[in-house]
Amino acid sequence: MAETMVKLKEYDSAPDFTLPDAQGVAVGLKDFDDKIVVLYFYPKDNTPGCTIEAVDFSALLAEFSAKNAVVLGVSPDTPKCHQGFIAKQNLRHILLSDTTKEVASAYGAYGKKMMYGKEVMGIIRSTFIIKNRQIIKAMYNVKAKDHAKAVLAML
């Protein structure tokens, strides 16, 4: 499988970003300088794996908050699409819209991947733990099931 152009690793500076949330409000990395940021990229709202991952992160939100962490989910879906996903799955964490895939690309979470045996361009399910705008942990090609629990255990 081909690699993405950028692969972030521990101690790299986290690429700065500002993206709209489900309500269209601009949310940026700078808004959480006093917190640990769990930034996860996922391909698409309302798909099986992405739903499992989002529901799990949302279910553990109180535990993330207790560790001074904020959870931000990012996909290429529009804010309107995120609204429906949040309502349907009763999600409690912030979802951000990266329709241009610029932020995903900056994090190495967009590139060539295998899908049903074919190489395609798309979002690579990835998670980053960020503190003081520095990458503490970078995880690529993560599995959706039980991922939120594993991330929580790393904090």
Q: What is the pLDDT of residues 6-57, one digit of tens each?
A: 799 999 999 999 999 999 999 999 999 999 999 999 999 999 999 999 999 9
pTM above 0.85, yes or no: yes
Percent above pLDDT 70 for the chain: 97
Q: Beta strands 118-123 and 110-115: pairing type?
A: antiparallel
pLDDT confidence of 2, banded at 50, 70, 90?
Answer: very low
Strand partners, 138: 128
Q: Is 50 a catalytic residue?
A: yes
Q: Are 147 and 53 in contact (CB under 8 A)?
A: yes
DSSP state of 21: B
pLDDT confidence of 105, banded at 50, 70, 90?
Answer: very high
Among residues 50, 54, 148, 152, the one annotated as catalytic is 50
